[in-house]
Amino acid sequence: MFSEDTILLLYEITDVIIAGLSMGSVYALMAVGMTLVYGVTKAFNFAYGDFFNMGGYFAWILIFGLGFQFMGYLGVLIIVMPLMFAVGYALEKLMIAPLRKREDWENKVMMLTLGLALFLTSLYTVVFGVRMKSLPPIWEGTLEIGQLVFAYQDIMIFVLSLGGIGLLGWMLNNTRIGMAVQAVAQNPVGAKIVGIPKERIFASTFAISTVMVGFGGILLSQKYFINPMSGGTIMIKAWVVTAFGGMGSIRGGLYAAFIIGMMEALVGWVFGLSYGIIALFILLIATLVFRPQGLMGKGG
């Protein structure tokens, strides 16, 4: 019925779609973390991409450095996630909280986190070397339906990142700390009046976002690689997804992440991988010019 070439092309397109979906799901994870931290604390974190790599490196140290073998990736996650939380919390308390009292503090935070990004990037290069590191796949093997082949790894990445977002959404709406976070985002002064410890919520939100991005780092690094220099690109991607989806809207971020993941996979397939970031940038400019509030955002 179809010629050989058409069928091959169809398989290739399926591959591209799968790559787009698994990338999109991790972008969603990162964008949700970013939307949360910017929406609540108004602090923009330029070192966001380096926390992505930090998650990957922590997992790498555990698996290859220390030969950690407990329950596969579950054990790794149980150890790395609290570690990321602690790092995020401490950074907020030590570096961003003192700036909050100064005038023009949002710009100061951007400069500080940019310095932090450079510090972490060069630290990774010095400690782990420029060569990229790889993690073992979370679940080996493939699922074959007829002629189509799906790697279990891709399916796991997809399921786990959507699970992570679901968990965060549940936490925000059903736990005390989640509701406190929402209260601070909606009205900081009102939140303070009813006795919500604002400083602690800021630090926790920042820590949660580092956990989200670190989780994304572990998930995506076993499919691609951990590249010490990639922090800036990852941060830009997460931020474009956030801006495209609309600031402060978790659902918008979700849609945007899948659209952008798909677009990146397609552009990479048609034109070559290095054009991904150029396409991303054009999309960003178009979004900001025609719809500054993003897909689902309320007001610029």
Partner 1 sequence: MRFKHMAIIIGAAYGVMAILPLFVGDIKFVMNILIMCLIWAVVASCWDVMMGFAGIFSFGQVAFFVMGAYCSGILAIEYHVTPVLAILIAGLFTGGMGVLVGLPCLKLAGPYVALVTFGVHMALQPTLRGEIGIALGSGGSVGLLTIPPISMFGYTFSSANMVPTFYLTLLVSLACALTIMLVIKSYWGTAFLALKDSHDFAMSLGISAFKYKLMVFALTSFLTGIIGAYYGHFYGVVSFRLLDLDLFSILMVMMLVGGLGHFPGAIIGAFLVVAGSEFMAPLGAYRAVTMGALVVVLVLALPNGIMGLFMKNNAKKIYGS
Binding site for partner 1 (CB under 8 A): 38, 44, 95, 98-99, 102, 106-108, 110-112, 114-123, 125-126, 232-233, 236, 239-240, 243, 272, 274-275, 277-278, 280-281, 284-285, 288-289, 292, 300
For residue 221, the minimal CB distance to partner 1 (Å) is: 21
For residue 119, the minimal CB distance to partner 1 (Å) is: 3
64: DSSP letter: I
d(CA 175, CA 171): 5
| 231, 49 Cβ separation under 8 angstroms | yes
For residue 76, the minimal CB distance to partner 1 (Å) is: 27
In the three-class reduction of DSSP (H, G, I as helix; E, B as strand; rest coil), residue 21 is classed as: helix
Closest CB to partner 1 among residues 18, 295: 295
d(CA 20, CA 16): 6
Closest CB to partner 1 among residues 29, 120: 120
Would you call 45 exposed, middle or buried from its count of C-beta atoms within 10 A (0-12, 13-18, 19+)?
buried
CA distances (Å), origin 57, targets 54, 135, 166: 5, 9, 25
- Tell me the torsion sign for CA atoms 277, 207, 220, 124: positive
Closest CB to partner 1 among residues 9, 126: 126
Distance of CA 66 to the CA centre of its chain: 26
In the three-class reduction of DSSP (H, G, I as helix; E, B as strand; rest coil), residue 294 is classed as: coil
Closest CB to partner 1 among residues 159, 286: 286
For residue 27, the minimal CB distance to partner 1 (Å) is: 16
d(CA 23, CA 153): 12
Closest CB to partner 1 among residues 81, 267: 267
Give residue 295's identity as a one-letter amino acid code: L
Closest CB to partner 1 among residues 44, 150: 44
- Residue 151: phi and psi, rounded to 5, are -80, 135
For residue 101, the minimal CB distance to partner 1 (Å) is: 11
For residue 282, the minimal CB distance to partner 1 (Å) is: 9
For residue 153, the minimal CB distance to partner 1 (Å) is: 28
Q: Give 143's strand partners.
A: 150
For residue 255, the minimal CB distance to partner 1 (Å) is: 19
Closest CB to partner 1 among residues 17, 123: 123
| 237, 279 Cβ separation under 8 angstroms | no
